Structure 1
Amino acid sequence: MKRTLIALAVAGAAVATGVNAGELYNQDGTTLSLGGRAEARMSIKDGDVSDVSRVRVNVSGKQEISDDLYGVGFYEAQYTTNDLDANGNSNSESSSIEHRYAYAGLGGNFGEITYGKNDAALGVITDFTDIMDYHGAKASKKLESADRIDNLLSYKGDFNDLSVKAAYRFADRTISTDGNDYDDNDADAFSLSGIYTVADTGLAIGLGYADQNDLANQWMLTASYTWNDLYVSALYSAADLDDTDNDYDGFELAASYTMDKTVFYVTYNKGELDDGHVAFFDADDLAVEVAYFFKPNFRGYVSYDFNMLDDDEVGDAAAEDEAVLGLRYDF
């Protein structure tokens, strides 16, 4: 079973990107589909309310070339009502549009190869514990080149019970300081991951590695177990962020239980950073959530994050608890 199928089984009626997409055209081997979500989200911190709603729209196309080969293209944009800072605070005067995905490629029995803006190899590993609608996933920070990023050549393939993914991020081309030629700034990076599902046991194990120009690297190990309506998972992440003692260790535990149309979630996140880094920070929180699926593509949820960071060390804003009320429609 693929990891995406495990995630669907956990949520009971959860809808992943593309699963509920509506087919717009299907003729002569060409398929075009439209999907996305509209999500109203109210964030409450210290009694103050912020609108953190968002809308995603994606278009996917597939062209059959032969019995063993097809072409694929995918684009997804996200509109958010507010821009959030690192502490989750919003600016009511601001909004943004993000181009989340934009790639094309070839696929077949060998797997699928794409180029553009896409997920690198560690996202499928962090998906094991990133199961909540809003909170959680604070301790599984990824290197930038191992996350969703542009200028990425990626491969994914399924081989019986083993799923593999590999990605290479090319260094961006920039003009040299003297303006006479181009410089790629030596920022090439790669990431690898594999997920093995033990047949007929409910057990899945994942391992991932990323290297960013030999200056930073990261390991991730994860496992999950599904038994009827119960799902539990754990993740460990270790990152060496540069050639000093700037290291990061992160732990995540996650569980969910499905009862008819209601899904209960709980996650614990603990991350410790030896020194400051722009994309990594300390985390210590317990998050709980209840989601009710009116229909497979329409849910409401209440999510609460108990933030256990010391406000004397990180400041009041970074240590604040947060409650979120949400309604999500997938199409």
Structure 2
Amino acid sequence: MNKNILAIAIAAATFGTQAVAVELYNNDGTTFSMGGHVTAALAGGEERDTTVEAVSPRINVTATQDMGNGFTIDARGEWSLNFLENGGNSFSTRLGYIGLTHEEMGRGVIGTQWAPFYDVASLTDMPIAFANDFLYDGMYGGDFALSGQTRADQMISYRNGFDFGDAGALDFGLGWQGKNDGDFADYNDRVQIALSYSIMGAKVGYAYSTGDVTESNNKRSLDFHAVSAAYGSYGNGLYLAALYQMTEDENVTDIDAYELIAAYALANSLNLSINYETVESQDKNASKETDREEMALQAEYNFTSNVVGFGGYQFDLEGDDDRFMIGARVYL
């Protein structure tokens, strides 16, 4: 198994610009750590009032235990934070899983987790302010956790990889979700596979997710394909990435979505980026329409290792709903 992937898996690293955790306990093969971040921003636009918004804040705890014979078990709980409003629910679940990892035999995880599909689709989902929105739109009211595109509810997954030295590394992942009832549709058993190959700082990947969905007693197939490519490491010099996702909703709508990002981080940690996103849909026997087309200019700066300032301006290329966001992220 690729040892770099193994280390990331055990640490349960959060996808994004930075992952910080404080180790509170480490003794006799057992560790316990806490992490997360609080992020707030001033946000507004041409068609929306300027307000203070939370930007995906969360808190998490992770425990690991050396089981011997090369096996390590880990458990993570992660919750989103409601810190800008009085009352209401202070926490809601983002992640909750148990994983078992072996250097040679790979890694299995059960629970609410980042899906193998997202291993491929995440390459463009990097900036804090404006990133890959269509992954979280879902097909029906934002049911991305039920369709398994990003964080996947009630999933069993398996990952492994092969390191070929100078010839690169091949990684793969498999995932299964049982039946889940959504707010607008019901999802039957879903399976997915993800493949990626890395060499000399470049990475390419393909992911496929399939299963049936039932809406108003109409059962049909709902499939996702994702193809991605990237070069470099986000936040470290030049980073280029592209993602194409095709959604096939049998007898209803096909959707093509694209995300492109180019970023360059200076030696002083100032990271400048530009990203482009478009979503096109086509109903059966109808012409293709552009649902959304946006471009954003963004900047992020590490004041310290735990404090990041960020700002961005997103241009609505289909209308006049330009948006801006400026704020700070404090890692716990």
TM-score band (shorter)? Answer: 0.7 to 0.9
Structure whose residues are more often strand by fraction = 2
2:202 aligned residue:
203
| Deviations, residues 108-162 of structure 1 (Å, cap 9, x unaligned) | 1212111111122221222111121120213445654223122111112232112
Q: Secondary structure of the residue that 2:25 maps to in structure 1?
A: strand
Equivalents in 1 of 2:172, 2:40: separation in Å?
Answer: 35
What corresponds to 1:76 in structure 2? 78
Distance 1:270 1:293, change over 3 A: same
Supply the AA of the counterpart residue of 1:133. I
Query: CA 1:67–1:4 in structure 2 vs 1: closer, same or farther (change >3 Å)?
Result: closer
How far apart, CA to CA, are the structure 1 residues paired with 2:266 and 2:22? 28
Q: What is the distance in 2 between the residues matched to 1:15 and 1:97? A: 22
Which residue matches 2:54? 53
Following the alignment from structure 2 to structure 1, what is the Cα–Cα distance between the partners of residues 181 and 316?
41
Identify unmatched segments of 5+ residues in structure 2: 9-15, 139-143, 164-168, 213-219, 285-289
After TM superposition, the structure 1 = structure 2 runs for residues 1-331 of structure 1, keeping only pairs within 5 Å, are 14-16=17-19, 20-46=20-46, 48-54=49-55, 55-81=57-83, 97-109=91-103, 110-140=105-135, 144-146=146-148, 147-160=150-163, 161-172=169-180, 187-198=188-199, 201-213=200-212, 215-226=221-232, 229-241=237-249, 243-260=250-267, 261-275=269-283, 282-310=291-319, 320-331=321-332
Letter in 1 for 2:18: V
Aligned-pair identity in percent equals 24
Ranges in structure 1 where 5+ consecutive residues have no aligned partner: 6-12, 83-90, 175-184, 311-318
Secondary structure of 1:309 counterpart: coil
Q: CA deviation at 1:79?
A: 1.3
Determine the structure 1 residue equivalent to 2:217: none
Distance 1:298 1:56 in 2: 15
TM-score w.r.t. length of structure 2: 0.79
The answer to whether the 8 Å contact 2:181/2:187 transfers is no
- Inter-CA distance 172–53: structure 2 relative to 1 (3 Å threshold): closer
RMSD, aligned α-carbons: 2.9
Contact 1:235–1:251 (8 Å) recurs in 2: yes
Match of 1:180 in 2: none
1-structure distance, mates of 2:74, 2:276: 37
Query: For the Cα contact (< 8 Å) 2:232–2:239, is it kept in 1?
Result: yes
Counterpart of 1:212, as a letter, is G
The answer as to whether partners of 2:62 and 2:75 remain within 8 angstroms in 1 is yes
State the SS of the aligned residue for 1:188. Answer: strand
SS for the counterpart of 1:274 is strand
Q: Deviations over 1:11-64 (max 9, x none)?
A: xx9422xxx211111112111111111112111123721221253110000011
Given that 2:242 and 2:260 are in contact with CA atoms closer than 8 Å, whether structure 1 keeps it comes out as yes
Relative to structure 1, the CA distance from residue 253 to residue 173 in structure 2 (aligned partners, 3 Å threshold; closer, same or farther) is: closer
CA displacement at 1:309 relative to structure 2: 2.2
Instruction: Kindly indicate whether structure 1 or structure 2 has the higher relative contact order, using CA contacts under 8 Å at least 6 residues apart.
Output: 1
In the aligned structure 2, how far is the partner of 1:166 from the partner of 1:139? Answer: 22
Distance change >3 Å, CA 3–CA 320, structure 1 → 2: farther
* TM score, norm. by length of structure 1: 0.79
Secondary structure, counterpart of 2:18 in structure 1: coil
Q: 1:140 to 1:103 in 2, by over 3 A?
A: closer
How many pairs were matched up? 288
Cα separation, 1, equivalents of 2:322 and 2:86: 20
